[in-house]
A and B are shown apart, each in its own frame.
Chain A
Amino acid sequence: MFTIDQLSLQLPMYASWWKREWATCLNDVSLTFATGEVHALVGASGAGKSLLAYAMMGLLPAQARLQGQLYYQGTLLDASRQRRLRGRELALIPQSLSALDPLVRTQRQVAWAAQRAGHATESAWRASQQALDHYQLNARAQQAYAHELSGGMARRVLTAMAHVSQARLVIADEPTVGLDPHQRQRVLTALRELADQGKTVVLITHDLRHALPIADQVTILRDGKSIETAPACAFQGAGTSLSSTYSQALWRALPDNGFTVSMAQPVDKETVVA
Protein backbone atom coordinates (compact mmCIF):
# COMPACT_ATOMS: atom_id res chain seq x y z
CA MET A 1 0.00 0.00 0.00
CA PHE A 2 3.04 2.23 0.38
CA THR A 3 5.98 1.87 -1.93
CA ILE A 4 9.33 3.59 -1.82
CA ASP A 5 11.05 3.47 -5.16
CA GLN A 6 14.78 4.16 -5.39
CA LEU A 7 14.75 6.96 -2.88
CA SER A 8 17.96 8.94 -2.38
CA LEU A 9 18.38 11.86 -0.04
CA GLN A 10 21.19 14.37 0.25
CA LEU A 11 21.57 17.03 2.89
CA PRO A 12 23.98 19.97 2.75
CA MET A 13 26.87 20.14 5.16
CA TYR A 14 29.77 22.48 5.55
CA ALA A 15 33.03 20.68 4.97
CA SER A 16 35.23 23.70 5.56
CA TRP A 17 34.83 27.43 5.99
CA TRP A 18 33.08 28.16 2.75
CA LYS A 19 32.71 24.87 0.96
CA ARG A 20 29.34 23.22 1.01
CA GLU A 21 29.11 19.52 0.31
CA TRP A 22 26.24 17.14 0.02
CA ALA A 23 26.10 14.28 2.45
CA THR A 24 24.22 11.26 1.17
CA CYS A 25 21.82 10.16 3.91
CA LEU A 26 19.68 7.70 1.97
CA ASN A 27 21.04 5.82 -0.99
CA ASP A 28 18.73 4.12 -3.43
CA VAL A 29 16.27 2.71 -0.91
CA SER A 30 13.36 0.67 -2.26
CA LEU A 31 10.77 -0.75 0.13
CA THR A 32 7.15 -1.88 0.14
CA PHE A 33 4.85 -1.79 3.16
CA ALA A 34 1.77 -4.01 2.97
CA THR A 35 -1.60 -3.40 4.62
CA GLY A 36 -2.09 -4.88 8.06
CA GLU A 37 1.53 -5.61 8.81
CA VAL A 38 4.08 -4.27 11.23
CA HIS A 39 7.20 -3.53 9.26
CA ALA A 40 10.26 -2.89 11.37
CA LEU A 41 13.09 -0.68 10.13
CA VAL A 42 16.18 -1.61 12.11
CA GLY A 43 19.53 0.12 12.01
CA ALA A 44 22.14 1.91 14.06
CA SER A 45 21.84 5.61 14.66
CA GLY A 46 22.87 7.44 11.54
CA ALA A 47 21.52 4.69 9.31
CA GLY A 48 18.83 7.06 8.02
CA LYS A 49 15.76 5.57 9.70
CA SER A 50 14.26 8.81 10.96
CA LEU A 51 15.09 10.63 7.73
CA LEU A 52 13.24 7.93 5.82
CA ALA A 53 10.21 8.57 8.03
CA TYR A 54 10.42 12.33 7.43
CA ALA A 55 10.79 11.74 3.70
CA MET A 56 7.64 9.58 3.73
CA MET A 57 5.73 12.30 5.59
CA GLY A 58 7.19 15.14 3.53
CA LEU A 59 8.70 16.88 6.53
CA LEU A 60 12.27 17.24 5.33
CA PRO A 61 13.93 20.67 5.50
CA ALA A 62 13.58 22.77 2.37
CA GLN A 63 17.23 22.52 1.34
CA ALA A 64 17.17 18.69 1.19
CA ARG A 65 17.74 17.06 -2.21
CA LEU A 66 15.41 14.17 -2.83
CA GLN A 67 15.38 11.71 -5.73
CA GLY A 68 13.14 8.76 -6.42
CA GLN A 69 9.40 8.25 -6.03
CA LEU A 70 6.90 7.42 -3.34
CA TYR A 71 3.61 5.68 -4.06
CA TYR A 72 0.67 5.58 -1.69
CA GLN A 73 -2.08 3.12 -2.61
CA GLY A 74 -0.77 2.85 -6.10
CA THR A 75 -0.74 6.58 -6.83
CA LEU A 76 2.29 8.84 -6.90
CA LEU A 77 2.74 10.67 -3.62
CA ASP A 78 4.14 14.14 -4.31
CA ALA A 79 4.63 17.07 -1.95
CA SER A 80 1.15 18.51 -2.36
CA ARG A 81 -0.55 15.15 -1.88
CA GLN A 82 1.65 14.56 1.16
CA ARG A 83 0.46 17.85 2.57
CA ARG A 84 -3.15 16.83 2.06
CA LEU A 85 -2.74 13.35 3.49
CA ARG A 86 -0.60 14.24 6.51
CA GLY A 87 -2.58 13.72 9.69
CA ARG A 88 -5.45 12.07 7.80
CA GLU A 89 -3.93 9.06 6.03
CA LEU A 90 -0.32 9.27 7.21
CA ALA A 91 0.55 9.66 10.88
CA LEU A 92 3.86 9.93 12.70
CA ILE A 93 4.56 9.08 16.30
CA PRO A 94 7.68 11.19 16.87
CA GLN A 95 10.78 9.98 18.59
CA SER A 96 11.20 12.81 21.03
CA LEU A 97 8.86 13.50 23.93
CA SER A 98 9.52 17.21 23.39
CA ALA A 99 7.03 16.95 20.54
CA LEU A 100 4.32 17.47 23.16
CA ASP A 101 3.55 21.13 23.77
CA PRO A 102 4.45 21.81 27.43
CA LEU A 103 1.93 24.65 27.68
CA VAL A 104 -1.15 22.69 26.56
CA ARG A 105 -3.13 20.11 28.51
CA THR A 106 -3.02 16.55 27.18
CA GLN A 107 -6.60 16.23 26.06
CA ARG A 108 -6.57 19.54 24.23
CA GLN A 109 -3.52 18.43 22.25
CA VAL A 110 -5.20 15.19 21.26
CA ALA A 111 -8.34 17.12 20.32
CA TRP A 112 -6.25 19.42 18.13
CA ALA A 113 -4.82 16.36 16.39
CA ALA A 114 -8.40 15.18 15.78
CA GLN A 115 -9.40 18.57 14.41
CA ARG A 116 -6.43 18.58 12.10
CA ALA A 117 -7.58 15.17 10.87
CA GLY A 118 -10.91 16.68 9.90
CA HIS A 119 -13.11 16.35 12.99
CA ALA A 120 -15.41 19.21 13.96
CA THR A 121 -14.72 20.84 17.33
CA GLU A 122 -17.34 18.81 19.22
CA SER A 123 -16.58 15.44 17.74
CA ALA A 124 -12.85 16.11 18.08
CA TRP A 125 -13.29 16.47 21.81
CA ARG A 126 -15.24 13.21 21.99
CA ALA A 127 -12.75 11.40 19.78
CA SER A 128 -9.84 12.58 21.92
CA GLN A 129 -11.64 11.35 25.03
CA GLN A 130 -12.13 7.93 23.46
CA ALA A 131 -8.56 7.68 22.24
CA LEU A 132 -7.15 8.62 25.64
CA ASP A 133 -9.46 6.16 27.38
CA HIS A 134 -8.38 3.50 24.92
CA TYR A 135 -4.76 3.94 25.95
CA GLN A 136 -5.71 3.85 29.65
CA LEU A 137 -4.91 7.46 30.39
CA ASN A 138 -7.11 8.47 33.29
CA ALA A 139 -8.86 11.78 33.88
CA ARG A 140 -5.88 13.14 35.77
CA ALA A 141 -3.49 12.40 32.92
CA GLN A 142 -5.94 13.92 30.46
CA GLN A 143 -5.89 17.20 32.32
CA ALA A 144 -2.13 17.11 32.92
CA TYR A 145 0.66 19.06 31.25
CA ALA A 146 3.45 17.19 29.52
CA HIS A 147 5.94 17.61 32.36
CA GLU A 148 3.56 15.91 34.76
CA LEU A 149 3.40 12.72 32.67
CA SER A 150 5.75 9.79 32.99
CA GLY A 151 7.73 8.67 29.94
CA GLY A 152 5.37 5.78 29.28
CA MET A 153 2.28 7.94 29.62
CA ALA A 154 3.70 10.56 27.28
CA ARG A 155 4.41 7.84 24.70
CA ARG A 156 0.83 6.66 24.98
CA VAL A 157 -0.40 10.23 24.51
CA LEU A 158 1.65 10.47 21.32
CA THR A 159 0.24 7.13 20.18
CA ALA A 160 -3.28 8.35 20.96
CA MET A 161 -2.65 11.43 18.81
CA ALA A 162 -1.72 9.18 15.88
CA HIS A 163 -4.65 6.88 16.64
CA VAL A 164 -7.25 9.64 16.75
CA SER A 165 -6.40 10.66 13.18
CA GLN A 166 -7.67 7.26 11.86
CA ALA A 167 -4.60 7.24 9.60
CA ARG A 168 -4.01 4.10 7.61
CA LEU A 169 -0.24 4.31 7.79
CA VAL A 170 1.35 4.92 11.18
CA ILE A 171 5.08 5.49 11.45
CA ALA A 172 6.39 5.01 14.98
CA ASP A 173 9.87 6.50 15.42
CA GLU A 174 11.75 4.77 18.26
CA PRO A 175 8.65 4.39 20.44
CA THR A 176 10.38 2.31 23.10
CA VAL A 177 13.35 4.49 23.95
CA GLY A 178 13.74 5.12 27.66
CA LEU A 179 10.89 2.87 28.77
CA ASP A 180 11.02 0.07 31.31
CA PRO A 181 10.14 -3.44 30.03
CA HIS A 182 6.55 -3.26 31.23
CA GLN A 183 5.82 0.08 29.58
CA ARG A 184 7.68 -1.01 26.47
CA GLN A 185 5.48 -4.05 26.17
CA ARG A 186 2.39 -1.87 26.46
CA VAL A 187 3.48 0.45 23.67
CA LEU A 188 4.47 -2.40 21.38
CA THR A 189 1.18 -4.20 22.00
CA ALA A 190 -0.68 -1.02 21.11
CA LEU A 191 1.19 -0.88 17.78
CA ARG A 192 0.43 -4.54 17.06
CA GLU A 193 -3.26 -3.81 17.73
CA LEU A 194 -3.21 -1.00 15.17
CA ALA A 195 -1.86 -3.40 12.56
CA ASP A 196 -4.44 -6.00 13.48
CA GLN A 197 -7.14 -3.39 12.86
CA GLY A 198 -5.95 -3.25 9.26
CA LYS A 199 -3.52 -0.38 9.45
CA THR A 200 0.04 -0.39 8.30
CA VAL A 201 2.60 0.21 11.03
CA VAL A 202 6.19 1.15 10.29
CA LEU A 203 8.21 0.57 13.44
CA ILE A 204 11.54 2.36 13.51
CA THR A 205 13.97 1.05 16.09
CA HIS A 206 17.63 0.40 16.69
CA ASP A 207 16.84 -2.70 18.71
CA LEU A 208 16.15 -5.84 16.74
CA ARG A 209 15.15 -7.76 19.89
CA HIS A 210 12.17 -5.53 20.64
CA ALA A 211 10.97 -5.42 17.06
CA LEU A 212 10.96 -9.15 16.34
CA PRO A 213 8.03 -10.27 18.57
CA ILE A 214 5.53 -7.94 16.91
CA ALA A 215 6.97 -7.44 13.43
CA ASP A 216 5.91 -9.24 10.28
CA GLN A 217 8.68 -7.91 8.10
CA VAL A 218 12.09 -6.58 9.09
CA THR A 219 14.27 -4.30 7.00
CA ILE A 220 17.85 -3.76 8.02
CA LEU A 221 19.24 -0.32 7.17
CA ARG A 222 22.87 0.60 7.20
CA ASP A 223 24.52 3.88 6.18
CA GLY A 224 21.48 4.95 4.19
CA LYS A 225 21.17 1.68 2.28
CA SER A 226 18.64 -1.03 2.81
CA ILE A 227 20.67 -4.17 3.39
CA GLU A 228 17.86 -6.66 3.25
CA THR A 229 14.19 -7.20 3.93
CA ALA A 230 13.23 -10.49 5.50
CA PRO A 231 10.19 -11.90 7.28
CA ALA A 232 10.56 -11.80 11.05
CA CYS A 233 10.61 -15.59 11.17
CA ALA A 234 13.89 -15.63 9.26
CA PHE A 235 15.59 -14.38 12.39
CA GLN A 236 15.99 -17.70 14.16
CA GLY A 237 18.57 -20.35 14.82
CA ALA A 238 21.90 -19.42 13.33
CA GLY A 239 20.24 -16.93 11.00
CA THR A 240 21.33 -18.88 7.95
CA SER A 241 18.22 -17.95 6.02
CA LEU A 242 19.30 -14.30 6.09
CA SER A 243 21.01 -13.35 2.90
CA SER A 244 23.42 -10.64 3.99
CA THR A 245 26.32 -11.08 6.34
CA TYR A 246 25.49 -7.82 8.14
CA SER A 247 22.01 -9.04 9.12
CA GLN A 248 23.44 -12.35 10.20
CA ALA A 249 26.02 -10.60 12.31
CA LEU A 250 23.35 -8.38 13.82
CA TRP A 251 21.22 -11.38 14.69
CA ARG A 252 24.03 -13.44 16.15
CA ALA A 253 25.29 -10.54 18.21
CA LEU A 254 22.12 -10.49 20.30
CA PRO A 255 22.63 -11.57 23.93
CA ASP A 256 20.54 -14.74 23.55
CA ASN A 257 22.66 -15.86 20.63
CA GLY A 258 25.94 -15.70 22.48
CA PHE A 259 27.31 -12.29 21.50
CA THR A 260 29.29 -13.66 18.62
CA VAL A 261 30.77 -10.60 16.98
CA SER A 262 33.58 -12.43 15.25
CA MET A 263 32.19 -11.85 11.77
CA ALA A 264 34.21 -10.48 8.93
CA GLN A 265 32.08 -7.37 8.85
CA PRO A 266 32.38 -5.02 11.79
CA VAL A 267 29.15 -4.33 13.61
CA ASP A 268 28.18 -0.97 14.98
CA LYS A 269 28.57 -1.11 18.68
CA GLU A 270 25.39 0.73 19.49
CA THR A 271 23.17 -1.65 17.59
CA VAL A 272 24.46 -4.57 19.53
CA VAL A 273 24.57 -3.17 23.02
CA ALA A 274 21.19 -1.52 22.94
Chain B
Amino acid sequence: MPRIAMRLGRLALVLLCVALVSFGLMMLSPIDPVDAYLGPQVAQVSPEQRALIAERWGFDAPPAVQFGHWLRQLASGDLGWSHVYNQPVSEVIGQRFQRSIVLLASAWLVSALLGFALGVMAGAKEGSPLDKMISTYAYLTASTPAFWLAMLAVLLFSVTLGWAPTCCAGPAGVLDQDVTLTTRLHHLVLPVATLALLGIANITLHTRTRMLALMRSDIAIHAFAQGAGRFDVAWRHGLRHASLPAVTLAFASLGELFGGSILIEQVFAYPGLGQATVAAGLRSDIPLLLGIALFTALFVSIGNLVADTLYGVIDPRLTTGGS
Protein backbone atom coordinates (compact mmCIF):
# COMPACT_ATOMS: atom_id res chain seq x y z
CA MET B 1 0.00 0.00 0.00
CA PRO B 2 2.61 2.62 0.93
CA ARG B 3 4.22 1.86 -2.43
CA ILE B 4 1.02 2.83 -4.22
CA ALA B 5 0.68 5.96 -2.09
CA MET B 6 4.21 6.95 -3.01
CA ARG B 7 3.52 6.41 -6.67
CA LEU B 8 0.37 8.52 -6.45
CA GLY B 9 2.33 11.27 -4.71
CA ARG B 10 4.93 11.14 -7.44
CA LEU B 11 2.15 11.33 -10.04
CA ALA B 12 0.77 14.50 -8.45
CA LEU B 13 4.25 16.02 -8.36
CA VAL B 14 4.88 15.19 -12.01
CA LEU B 15 1.54 16.68 -12.99
CA LEU B 16 2.37 19.87 -11.11
CA CYS B 17 5.65 20.02 -13.01
CA VAL B 18 3.83 19.50 -16.29
CA ALA B 19 1.55 22.42 -15.38
CA LEU B 20 4.56 24.57 -14.53
CA VAL B 21 6.50 23.68 -17.68
CA SER B 22 3.60 24.13 -20.06
CA PHE B 23 2.51 27.37 -18.42
CA GLY B 24 6.08 28.62 -18.62
CA LEU B 25 6.20 27.79 -22.32
CA MET B 26 2.97 29.72 -22.91
CA MET B 27 4.47 32.72 -21.11
CA LEU B 28 7.51 32.53 -23.37
CA SER B 29 5.41 32.71 -26.49
CA PRO B 30 5.82 35.89 -28.53
CA ILE B 31 2.11 35.82 -29.36
CA ASP B 32 0.26 38.53 -27.48
CA PRO B 33 -2.30 36.90 -25.16
CA VAL B 34 -4.84 39.68 -25.85
CA ASP B 35 -4.56 39.10 -29.61
CA ALA B 36 -4.90 35.38 -29.01
CA TYR B 37 -7.93 35.94 -26.82
CA LEU B 38 -9.64 38.20 -29.32
CA GLY B 39 -8.86 36.13 -32.36
CA PRO B 40 -10.10 37.69 -35.60
CA GLN B 41 -11.82 40.60 -33.80
CA VAL B 42 -8.48 42.25 -33.00
CA ALA B 43 -8.97 44.96 -35.60
CA GLN B 44 -12.22 46.20 -34.07
CA VAL B 45 -10.81 46.82 -30.60
CA SER B 46 -9.37 50.10 -29.38
CA PRO B 47 -6.22 50.33 -27.23
CA GLU B 48 -8.33 51.27 -24.18
CA GLN B 49 -10.45 48.18 -24.57
CA ARG B 50 -7.31 46.07 -24.94
CA ALA B 51 -5.97 47.42 -21.69
CA LEU B 52 -9.29 46.65 -20.06
CA ILE B 53 -9.20 43.05 -21.30
CA ALA B 54 -5.63 42.63 -20.15
CA GLU B 55 -6.56 43.88 -16.71
CA ARG B 56 -9.72 41.81 -16.53
CA TRP B 57 -7.86 38.55 -17.35
CA GLY B 58 -4.73 39.50 -15.46
CA PHE B 59 -2.48 39.39 -18.54
CA ASP B 60 -0.37 42.28 -17.25
CA ALA B 61 0.36 40.68 -13.88
CA PRO B 62 3.78 39.06 -13.30
CA PRO B 63 3.96 35.45 -14.56
CA ALA B 64 4.14 33.96 -11.05
CA VAL B 65 0.91 35.69 -10.05
CA GLN B 66 -0.78 34.50 -13.24
CA PHE B 67 0.40 30.95 -12.62
CA GLY B 68 -0.96 31.05 -9.07
CA HIS B 69 -4.25 32.37 -10.36
CA TRP B 70 -4.44 29.62 -13.00
CA LEU B 71 -3.61 26.91 -10.46
CA ARG B 72 -6.33 28.17 -8.11
CA GLN B 73 -8.78 28.00 -10.99
CA LEU B 74 -7.61 24.48 -11.81
CA ALA B 75 -8.11 23.39 -8.23
CA SER B 76 -11.70 24.58 -8.36
CA GLY B 77 -12.23 22.56 -11.54
CA ASP B 78 -12.26 25.51 -13.94
CA LEU B 79 -9.93 24.96 -16.86
CA GLY B 80 -10.80 28.26 -18.51
CA TRP B 81 -12.63 29.27 -21.68
CA SER B 82 -11.78 28.05 -25.17
CA HIS B 83 -12.26 30.87 -27.67
CA VAL B 84 -11.88 28.55 -30.68
CA TYR B 85 -14.86 26.42 -29.68
CA ASN B 86 -16.59 29.08 -27.59
CA GLN B 87 -17.12 26.59 -24.78
CA PRO B 88 -15.50 25.88 -21.41
CA VAL B 89 -12.26 23.92 -21.91
CA SER B 90 -13.45 21.04 -19.72
CA GLU B 91 -16.51 20.57 -21.94
CA VAL B 92 -14.44 20.62 -25.12
CA ILE B 93 -12.04 18.03 -23.72
CA GLY B 94 -14.90 15.88 -22.41
CA GLN B 95 -16.80 15.78 -25.69
CA ARG B 96 -13.77 15.30 -27.86
CA PHE B 97 -12.24 12.65 -25.66
CA GLN B 98 -15.43 10.60 -25.85
CA ARG B 99 -14.96 10.36 -29.59
CA SER B 100 -11.20 9.78 -29.38
CA ILE B 101 -11.40 7.09 -26.73
CA VAL B 102 -13.23 4.77 -29.13
CA LEU B 103 -10.46 5.22 -31.67
CA LEU B 104 -7.68 4.97 -29.09
CA ALA B 105 -9.04 2.00 -27.19
CA SER B 106 -9.79 -0.15 -30.20
CA ALA B 107 -6.47 0.64 -31.87
CA TRP B 108 -4.67 -0.03 -28.59
CA LEU B 109 -6.33 -3.38 -28.08
CA VAL B 110 -5.81 -4.54 -31.65
CA SER B 111 -2.18 -3.48 -31.74
CA ALA B 112 -1.36 -5.04 -28.36
CA LEU B 113 -2.96 -8.40 -29.15
CA LEU B 114 -1.82 -8.66 -32.75
CA GLY B 115 1.62 -7.25 -31.98
CA PHE B 116 2.18 -9.77 -29.22
CA ALA B 117 1.02 -12.70 -31.34
CA LEU B 118 3.25 -11.68 -34.25
CA GLY B 119 6.21 -11.13 -31.94
CA VAL B 120 5.86 -14.58 -30.40
CA MET B 121 5.53 -16.22 -33.81
CA ALA B 122 8.56 -14.38 -35.19
CA GLY B 123 10.74 -14.98 -32.15
CA ALA B 124 9.94 -18.68 -31.84
CA LYS B 125 12.18 -19.49 -34.77
CA GLU B 126 14.84 -16.97 -35.63
CA GLY B 127 15.60 -16.69 -39.32
CA SER B 128 12.57 -18.65 -40.51
CA PRO B 129 10.62 -17.21 -43.45
CA LEU B 130 7.81 -16.22 -41.08
CA ASP B 131 10.27 -14.41 -38.83
CA LYS B 132 11.80 -12.59 -41.78
CA MET B 133 8.40 -11.50 -43.04
CA ILE B 134 7.19 -10.29 -39.67
CA SER B 135 10.37 -8.45 -38.75
CA THR B 136 10.59 -6.78 -42.12
CA TYR B 137 7.04 -5.60 -41.70
CA ALA B 138 7.74 -4.35 -38.19
CA TYR B 139 10.92 -2.50 -39.14
CA LEU B 140 9.14 -0.95 -42.08
CA THR B 141 6.15 0.35 -40.13
CA ALA B 142 8.35 1.52 -37.28
CA SER B 143 10.05 3.88 -39.75
CA THR B 144 6.89 5.02 -41.50
CA PRO B 145 5.51 8.48 -40.74
CA ALA B 146 2.07 7.93 -39.20
CA PHE B 147 0.30 10.60 -41.21
CA TRP B 148 1.79 9.38 -44.47
CA LEU B 149 0.45 5.88 -43.87
CA ALA B 150 -2.95 7.41 -43.15
CA MET B 151 -2.74 9.37 -46.40
CA LEU B 152 -1.89 6.24 -48.33
CA ALA B 153 -4.86 4.49 -46.71
CA VAL B 154 -7.19 7.31 -47.76
CA LEU B 155 -5.73 7.28 -51.26
CA LEU B 156 -6.11 3.53 -51.66
CA PHE B 157 -9.30 2.64 -49.80
CA SER B 158 -11.32 5.83 -50.05
CA VAL B 159 -10.30 7.56 -53.26
CA THR B 160 -9.35 4.62 -55.48
CA LEU B 161 -11.47 1.77 -54.17
CA GLY B 162 -14.22 3.80 -52.52
CA TRP B 163 -14.64 1.34 -49.68
CA ALA B 164 -14.42 3.77 -46.80
CA PRO B 165 -15.39 7.41 -46.28
CA THR B 166 -12.56 9.94 -46.53
CA CYS B 167 -13.50 12.09 -43.62
CA CYS B 168 -15.06 12.82 -40.30
CA ALA B 169 -16.94 10.74 -37.77
CA GLY B 170 -20.17 10.73 -39.78
CA PRO B 171 -21.60 11.87 -43.11
CA ALA B 172 -21.53 15.60 -43.76
CA GLY B 173 -24.74 17.50 -42.99
CA VAL B 174 -26.16 14.88 -40.63
CA LEU B 175 -26.58 15.82 -36.99
CA ASP B 176 -24.36 13.96 -34.57
CA GLN B 177 -27.18 12.22 -32.72
CA ASP B 178 -28.78 10.97 -35.96
CA VAL B 179 -25.73 9.00 -37.10
CA THR B 180 -26.33 5.27 -36.83
CA LEU B 181 -23.92 2.90 -35.17
CA THR B 182 -22.96 1.15 -38.40
CA THR B 183 -22.16 4.45 -40.09
CA ARG B 184 -20.08 5.41 -37.10
CA LEU B 185 -18.17 2.14 -37.25
CA HIS B 186 -17.74 2.50 -41.00
CA HIS B 187 -16.10 5.85 -40.40
CA LEU B 188 -13.90 4.40 -37.66
CA VAL B 189 -12.49 1.37 -39.49
CA LEU B 190 -9.78 3.10 -41.49
CA PRO B 191 -8.45 5.36 -38.70
CA VAL B 192 -8.38 2.46 -36.25
CA ALA B 193 -6.66 0.20 -38.75
CA THR B 194 -3.92 2.74 -39.52
CA LEU B 195 -3.35 3.59 -35.88
CA ALA B 196 -3.20 -0.10 -34.91
CA LEU B 197 -0.91 -0.94 -37.83
CA LEU B 198 1.60 1.57 -36.49
CA GLY B 199 1.31 0.46 -32.87
CA ILE B 200 1.87 -3.20 -33.75
CA ALA B 201 5.48 -2.67 -34.83
CA ASN B 202 6.70 -1.55 -31.43
CA ILE B 203 5.20 -4.43 -29.46
CA THR B 204 6.15 -6.98 -32.11
CA LEU B 205 9.81 -5.97 -32.13
CA HIS B 206 9.97 -5.90 -28.35
CA THR B 207 8.27 -9.28 -27.95
CA ARG B 208 10.45 -10.79 -30.66
CA THR B 209 13.62 -9.69 -28.87
CA ARG B 210 12.37 -11.26 -25.66
CA MET B 211 11.49 -14.48 -27.42
CA LEU B 212 14.87 -14.67 -29.14
CA ALA B 213 16.62 -14.23 -25.82
CA LEU B 214 14.46 -16.93 -24.27
CA MET B 215 14.97 -19.41 -27.11
CA ARG B 216 18.74 -19.12 -26.56
CA SER B 217 18.55 -19.28 -22.77
CA ASP B 218 19.40 -22.15 -20.45
CA ILE B 219 15.68 -22.60 -19.86
CA ALA B 220 15.07 -23.40 -23.52
CA ILE B 221 18.10 -25.68 -23.83
CA HIS B 222 16.93 -27.56 -20.76
CA ALA B 223 13.47 -27.90 -22.25
CA PHE B 224 14.94 -29.15 -25.54
CA ALA B 225 16.95 -31.68 -23.52
CA GLN B 226 13.64 -32.91 -22.10
CA GLY B 227 12.47 -33.55 -25.63
CA ALA B 228 10.39 -30.42 -26.10
CA GLY B 229 9.95 -28.98 -29.57
CA ARG B 230 10.16 -25.31 -30.52
CA PHE B 231 6.41 -24.93 -30.35
CA ASP B 232 6.29 -26.47 -26.88
CA VAL B 233 9.02 -24.12 -25.59
CA ALA B 234 7.40 -21.07 -27.19
CA TRP B 235 3.99 -21.98 -25.82
CA ARG B 236 4.90 -23.00 -22.27
CA HIS B 237 7.90 -20.79 -21.48
CA GLY B 238 7.80 -18.15 -24.18
CA LEU B 239 4.31 -16.86 -23.54
CA ARG B 240 5.02 -16.37 -19.86
CA HIS B 241 8.32 -14.61 -20.39
CA ALA B 242 7.18 -12.36 -23.21
CA SER B 243 3.70 -11.41 -22.03
CA LEU B 244 4.73 -9.38 -19.00
CA PRO B 245 7.04 -7.00 -20.90
CA ALA B 246 4.45 -6.74 -23.65
CA VAL B 247 1.71 -5.69 -21.25
CA THR B 248 4.03 -3.20 -19.61
CA LEU B 249 5.04 -1.77 -22.94
CA ALA B 250 1.43 -1.50 -24.06
CA PHE B 251 0.59 0.61 -21.02
CA ALA B 252 3.78 2.62 -21.20
CA SER B 253 3.28 3.55 -24.85
CA LEU B 254 0.00 5.42 -24.40
CA GLY B 255 1.78 8.69 -25.12
CA GLU B 256 2.96 7.50 -28.51
CA LEU B 257 -0.51 6.18 -29.25
CA PHE B 258 -1.97 9.56 -28.48
CA GLY B 259 0.63 11.30 -30.63
CA GLY B 260 -0.28 8.99 -33.48
CA SER B 261 -3.97 9.70 -32.99
CA ILE B 262 -3.37 13.45 -33.35
CA LEU B 263 -1.86 12.90 -36.79
CA ILE B 264 -4.42 10.36 -37.88
CA GLU B 265 -7.37 12.45 -36.72
CA GLN B 266 -5.90 15.31 -38.71
CA VAL B 267 -5.68 13.26 -41.91
CA PHE B 268 -9.14 11.72 -41.54
CA ALA B 269 -10.63 14.97 -40.22
CA TYR B 270 -11.95 12.92 -37.32
CA PRO B 271 -13.35 15.41 -34.78
CA GLY B 272 -11.55 14.03 -31.71
CA LEU B 273 -9.21 15.42 -29.09
CA GLY B 274 -6.24 15.28 -31.45
CA GLN B 275 -7.88 17.58 -33.93
CA ALA B 276 -8.82 19.97 -31.13
CA THR B 277 -5.17 19.98 -30.03
CA VAL B 278 -4.01 21.05 -33.48
CA ALA B 279 -6.71 23.72 -33.71
CA ALA B 280 -5.79 25.04 -30.27
CA GLY B 281 -2.12 25.21 -31.18
CA LEU B 282 -2.59 26.83 -34.57
CA ARG B 283 -5.15 29.37 -33.37
CA SER B 284 -3.41 30.21 -30.08
CA ASP B 285 -6.17 28.94 -27.81
CA ILE B 286 -3.92 28.94 -24.75
CA PRO B 287 -6.39 27.67 -22.11
CA LEU B 288 -7.41 24.74 -24.32
CA LEU B 289 -3.79 23.88 -25.15
CA LEU B 290 -2.85 23.93 -21.46
CA GLY B 291 -5.90 21.87 -20.57
CA ILE B 292 -5.10 19.24 -23.18
CA ALA B 293 -1.43 19.09 -22.14
CA LEU B 294 -2.45 18.45 -18.54
CA PHE B 295 -5.14 15.97 -19.49
CA THR B 296 -2.88 13.89 -21.73
CA ALA B 297 -0.12 13.97 -19.13
CA LEU B 298 -2.60 12.53 -16.64
CA PHE B 299 -3.63 9.91 -19.19
CA VAL B 300 -0.04 8.88 -19.93
CA SER B 301 1.06 8.95 -16.27
CA ILE B 302 -1.80 6.69 -15.27
CA GLY B 303 -0.71 4.31 -18.03
CA ASN B 304 2.84 4.32 -16.65
CA LEU B 305 1.52 3.82 -13.13
CA VAL B 306 -0.53 0.82 -14.22
CA ALA B 307 2.49 -0.63 -16.04
CA ASP B 308 4.71 -0.32 -12.96
CA THR B 309 2.10 -1.69 -10.61
CA LEU B 310 1.21 -4.62 -12.87
CA TYR B 311 4.81 -5.72 -12.97
CA GLY B 312 4.93 -5.89 -9.19
CA VAL B 313 1.65 -7.78 -8.98
CA ILE B 314 2.24 -10.39 -11.67
CA ASP B 315 5.94 -11.22 -11.54
CA PRO B 316 6.49 -13.82 -8.79
CA ARG B 317 10.08 -12.69 -8.35
CA LEU B 318 8.87 -9.29 -7.19
CA THR B 319 5.77 -10.23 -5.21
CA THR B 320 7.38 -12.83 -2.97
CA GLY B 321 10.76 -11.15 -2.94
CA GLY B 322 9.31 -7.99 -1.43
CA SER B 323 7.40 -9.50 1.45
Contacts and interface: CB of A to CB of B under 8 A. Distances in A.
B225 A86 contact: yes
A117 B232 CA distance: 13
Interface in B225-277: 225-228, 232, 236-237, 240-241
A88 B227 contact: yes
A101 B237 contact: yes
A165 B218 contact: no
A203 interface: no
Nearest to A103: B240
Given A94-B218, A147-B321, A117 B227 contact: yes
A138 to B, nearest CB: 17
A154 to B, nearest CB: 12
Nearest to B127: A62
Contacts of A33: none
A145 B316 CA distance: 7
Contact of A147 (B219, B227, B317): B317
A218 B262 CA distance: 71
Contacts of A59: 221, 224-225
Interface in A100-155: 100-104, 112-113, 116-117, 145, 147-148
Contacts of A117: 226-227
A57 B226 contact: no
Nearest to B316: A145
B228 A116 contact: yes
A148 B225 CA distance: 24
Contacts of B228: 87, 112, 116
B44 interface: no
Nearest to B214: A101
Nearest 3 pairs of A and B residues by beta carbon: A87-B227, A99-B222, A87-B226
B151 to A, nearest CB: 43
Interface in B4-52: none
B320 interface: yes
Majority-rule SS of B interface residues: helix
B217 interface: yes
Nearest to B239: A103
A98 interface: yes
A92 B202 CA distance: 37
Interface of B: 217-219, 221-228, 232, 236-237, 240-241, 315-317, 320-321
A92 B317 contact: no
A interface residue count range (under 10 / 10 to 19 / 20 to 34 / 35 or more): 20 to 34
8 contacts: A83-B227, A87-B226, A92-B222, A98-B218, A100-B222, A112-B236, A147-B317, A147-B320
Contacts of A112: 223, 226, 228, 236
A110 to B, nearest CB: 10
A102 B236 contact: no
B321 to A, nearest CB: 7
B240 A101 contact: yes
A214 to B, nearest CB: 22
Contacts of A113: 226
B293 to A, nearest CB: 39
Contacts of B223: 112, 116
Contacts of B219: 98-101
Contacts of B240: 101, 103-104
Contact of A86 (B217, B224, B241): B224
A85 B320 CA distance: 38
Contact of B225 (A57, A102, A104): A57
Contacts of B225: 57, 59, 86-87, 91-92, 94
Contacts of A86: 224-227
Nearest to A87: B227
A96 interface: yes
Most buried by A among B218, B226, B241, B317: B226
A94 B221 contact: yes
B227 A102 contact: no
A124 to B, nearest CB: 12
A18 B175 CA distance: 69
Given A57-B225, A94-B218, 16 more contacts: A86-B224, A86-B225, A86-B226, A87-B225, A91-B226, A94-B222, A99-B218, A101-B241, A103-B237, A103-B240, A103-B316, A104-B236, A112-B226, A112-B236, A116-B227, A165-B226
B317 A145 contact: yes
Contacts of A91: 225-226
